[in-house]
Chains A and B, each alone.
Chain A
Amino acid sequence: MSDPAGTDLGSNQAYVLHVNGQGRDVRDAWLGESLLFVLRERLGLMGSKGACEQGECGSCSVLVDGALVCSCLVLAAAAQGQQIVTIEGVAPVGSPSDVQQAFVDAGAVQCGFCTPGLIMATHSLLERSPEPTEMEIREELSGNICRCTGYGRIIDAVQRVAVARRSQVAP
């Protein structure tokens, strides 16, 4: 293709994804694979969870060029050149982000399956709206299904982060 920014991939051609700040080669992959599948099965990043594979549950949420999306609905081969951030890229192992710590403190983690997606969604929400109302939290997290908590403690965790961040900013 004439335009260097565009790409044209034939069958089984290797391609590169930018995941958590690193270029990662994807080889011998079927080009119809979802980003979720490639993250887990090709790149060994098991934090993003696969459940519904149709964008209903939010367990596979990642950031693509800063936007919160379901990685199961992203065609991995079409995501070359975009910046992908997964739960593994949020904070190093052993030093959780404020959102991750708040989920632990509030008891918002039970079985833990939905947690990575909810952490990604919460980081994204607080980036766009630092002091969300409860309604806003509920609406913004409506794409992340949790079958354990009943959501009360998740909402509590989000509010704890908002309050803590505000007190850090205030003199």
Chain B
Amino acid sequence: MSMNSPKNALWHNFFKPKDDWVEDTANKCAENLLFKGFSPNVIRWFAAKMHPREYDAGETIFHAGDEGAGAVLLRSGTIAIRSKGVELATIKPGDMFGEVALVDGQARTADAVAIEACELVFLLRTDLDDWANSQPKHACKLLKNLGAMLAGRLLESNKNISKHSTEDHPK
């Protein structure tokens, strides 16, 4: 398709999917560390490959111990991350969680439950594999960002652990 073709042409819109969620997802992805350094066109193209889902309040997105198929980006609503009934974090729109599953089929480490009705998109490992096959340079950049993201989380966890251990055993 030519880039100069009029967007209101009948043949252009005939099979065009509803893309309101794509725009919203692309905007939220652009603010996320995972997509740092990507042009808006690439982000929009990749957002269109994601999988939108809607969850009711109280519905579980995944359980701890489930094998993860990919990461989740929250578009609207609120999600609680819980472990053994204890709330660990609250996910707000624009946040991404469960991204460890993008690396391999590791089990989920906590439960994710919708506190209120929410809209989210799944970024699956298989999409990333397809992308790595077709656009290895972009996929490589995304994996670097993912590495930085996971390293950040690890540092944060280490800080929390050392803070708690200092509180428990003061010098």
A binds B: no
| Residues of B near any A CB (own CB < 8 A) | none
| Residues of A near any B CB (own CB < 8 A) | none
